Amino acid sequence: MKKISLLVLVSSFCITICSCQKSPQTEVLITPFDTISVSHNNVRDKIVVISDLHLGNDLSYSETVSHLPRLEQFLNEIRHSSTVKELVIAGDMFDEWYIPTRVDAYGTGTQADFIKKTVAANKQVFDVLNGIIQDGNVKLTYVPGNHDMCFTPENINLALPGVNQARDASDKTGIGTYNPTGYPEIAIEHSHRYDFYNCLTPNANESEAPGSILPPGYFFARIAANSFTNPTTSANATKIHEVVQYFSAYEQFLKYTYYNTWKTALSYVIYVNDNFSEQIIKTNVGKFVNTYAINDIVPKNDPNTRYIDIKLYNDLFTQTNWDNRLKYNNVPVMLDVYTSISSGLDPTYIDNQARIQYFLNPLSNSRIVIFGHTHKPLISIYKNLSGKDCIYANSGTWEDKKTRNKSEVIDQDAEKMDFIVISPVMSNSKKLQVSLSQYIHGKHTRNNNMIIEL
């Protein structure tokens, strides 16, 4: 039977200390995870999902700085909980994308050095995460995202020795879908595999970066970092050049659509005052080694032929190429290339993939799907092809709220810091509550929850 419970409540953050029955000298912390009303709260049976931590290796420009103390506090609650059995980090835990364009991400070092520097910059957070692993009470699972898609399993293990890594296959390390033990009906992934701008992109720039899988979104993130570290106004930002579609060929139409996405982004979303012709984007990651101008990423009209052309990613703009990319990313249901390109700034396109790829896919048995990636927390209920209730949730983000106005006062302690909790209802392991909450001022603030029976 369907049962949907929608409520808004704020649970007080009050840590109660009680004595452990097995040893009177051992104290057990009762955390908010251990007092969820629908659960019996006497065994480890809850799964917590977070994503998009964006832990950078330089706190002068990292996306998550103000939230680090709260993240440490939140993770300690999980570590000391007596009812959480697993913490899943669903992608973008690390970040080698959000780096100002003129910064050489690796310098003279390696990816391993980058990882070690990230751990050092976020030491308190990684101390707790490694404590969770070492304690052995809560399973810690990492799923790759797009901002950490190039990190090897070996280098992730440098930061988190013994972490469970959920990856599709040894040759597709930058994507993964995770099914928690005992729950094949639950699918957790970052969801960048459906994103034209952010999924693995093989064979796209072989003359520039042989073997690279980095997608166009990598360059978008590098430019975005400039937009906030060296802010300007939309009115004073560098204006993008104009492009005209002179030819009706579908490939030209798709490139023009791609151009308009960039035009919107550079005019209203990540506008900068850089010279678009200056070579400022230092790469040195993901098998790219050169330095590029913004104009190398954005389509333009060839002065001789008038065709729309791009230096990087010029061959992506056919349905056949997109189908091949989707297959490479292990996407089960093929997607229309125009819709995928034109939806680059629309997070609902990604959310809708839960329905397309899982609930309406006759080959899928997933009833609960959790994505990250969009930074937009959400929980919704759908019907699958059998008419059964299914839940989709997006786990939001822990990044700070960004502002270009450096004098603006922001209560970062009330922004973002989203998380999902999957809780069995009493002793029924197949009847689950999925709740979406925020960690506001150190307290669990539940925004929505739904219950289904698998």
In the prediction, which pLDDT does 288 show?
96
Contact 124, 72 (CB under 8 A): yes
In the prediction, which pLDDT does 281 show?
98
pLDDT digits (tens, 9 = 90+) for 141-179: 999 999 999 999 999 999 999 999 999 998 899 999 999
Residue labelled with tokens 């629309």:
346
Judged against a pLDDT cut of 50, whether residue 205 lies above it is answered with yes
**Residue 206 and residue 181 share a domain:** no
**Phi, psi dihedrals of residue 378, rounded to the nearest 5°:** -160, 150
Residue in 189, 203, 235, 220 with CA at minimum distance from that of residue 354: 189
In the prediction, which pLDDT does 427 show?
81
**Residue 435 and residue 286 share a domain:** no
Residue labelled with tokens 């960039």:
262
Residue in 304, 288, 102 with CA at minimum distance from that of residue 204: 288
Domain-located, residue 357: no
Q: Report the b/e string of 360-383 with b at 16+ CB within 10 A.
A: eeeebebbbbbbbbbbebbbebbe
HEC sequence for the chain: CCECCCCCEEECCCCEEEECCCCCCCEEEECHHHHCCCECCCCCCEEEEECCCCECCCCCCCCCCCCHHHHHHHHHHHHHCCCEEEEEEECCCECCCCCCCCCCCCCCCCHHHHHHHHHHHCHHHHHHHHHHHHHCCCEEEEECCCCCCCCCHHHHHHHCCCCEECCCECCECCCCEECCCCCCCEEEECCHHHCCCCCCCCCCCCCCCCCCCCCCHHHHHHHHHHHHHCCCCCCCCCCCCCCCCCCCCHHHHHHHHHHHHHHHHHHHHCCCCCCCCCCCEECCCCCCCCEECHHHCCCEECCCCCCEECCCCCCCCCHHHHHHHHHHCCCCCCCCHHHHHHCCCCHHHHHHHHHHHHHCCCCCCCCEEEECCCCCCEEEEEECCCCCEEEEEECCCCCCCCCCCCCCCCCHHHCCCEEEEEEEEECEEEEEEEEEEEEECCEEEEEEEEEEEC
> Could you tell me what percent of the chain has a pLDDT over 70?
94
**Residue 261 and residue 315 share a domain:** yes
**Residue 202 and residue 186 share a domain:** no
Domain-located, residue 429: yes
In the prediction, which pLDDT does 252 show?
98
**Residue 263 and residue 230 share a domain:** yes
In the prediction, which pLDDT does 16 show?
33
Residue labelled with tokens 């988190």:
160
Q: Return the amino acid letter for 11.
A: S
> Which of 343, 358, 375 is the last residue before a domain boundary?
343
Distance CA 376, CA 26 (A): 40
> Which of 311, 343, 375 is the last residue before a domain boundary?
343
Judged against a pLDDT cut of 60, whether residue 394 lies above it is answered with yes
pLDDT digits (tens, 9 = 90+) for 270-295: 999 999 999 999 999 999 999 999 99
Domain-located, residue 353: no
Q: Return the amino acid letter for 335.
A: L
Q: How far is CA 18 from CA 23, 30, 44, in A?
A: 11, 8, 17
Domain-located, residue 178: yes
Domain-located, residue 428: yes
Q: Residue 65: which pLDDT band, with cuts at 50, 70 and 90?
A: very high
* β-pair partners for 140: 87
Angle at CA of residue 237, ends 233 and 241, nearest 5°: 150
Angle at CA of residue 269, ends 405 and 371, nearest 5°: 110
Domain-located, residue 444: yes
Supply 259's token pair: 């151009």
Q: What is the CATH number of the domain that holds 174?
A: 3.60.21
Contact 393, 378 (CB under 8 A): yes
Strands 84-90 and 139-143, bridge-based pairing? parallel
pLDDT digits (tens, 9 = 90+) for 3-47: 333 333 333 333 333 333 333 333 456 899 999 999 999 999 999
Domain-located, residue 4: no
Distance CA 93, CA 103 (A): 20
Distance CA 433, CA 449 (A): 7
**Residue 67 and residue 161 share a domain:** yes
- Mean of pLDDT values over 369-381: 98
**Residue 375 and residue 264 share a domain:** no
**Residue 202 and residue 185 share a domain:** no
pLDDT digits (tens, 9 = 90+) for 207-234: 999 999 999 999 999 999 999 999 999 9
Domain residues for 52? 9-191+367-453
In the prediction, which pLDDT does 28 show?
53
> Which of 343, 378, 393 is the last residue before a domain boundary?
343
Contact 287, 207 (CB under 8 A): no
**Residue 163 and residue 113 share a domain:** yes
Residue in 409, 225, 207 with CA at minimum distance from that of residue 314: 207
Query: How many structural domains compose the chain?
Result: 2
**Residue 215 and residue 187 share a domain:** no
Judged against a pLDDT cut of 60, whether residue 2 lies above it is answered with no
Strands 378-383 and 389-394, bridge-based pairing? antiparallel
pLDDT digits (tens, 9 = 90+) for 334-374: 999 999 999 999 999 999 999 999 999 999 999 999 999 99
**Residue 158 and residue 205 share a domain:** no
Domain-located, residue 312: yes
**Residue 173 and residue 26 share a domain:** yes
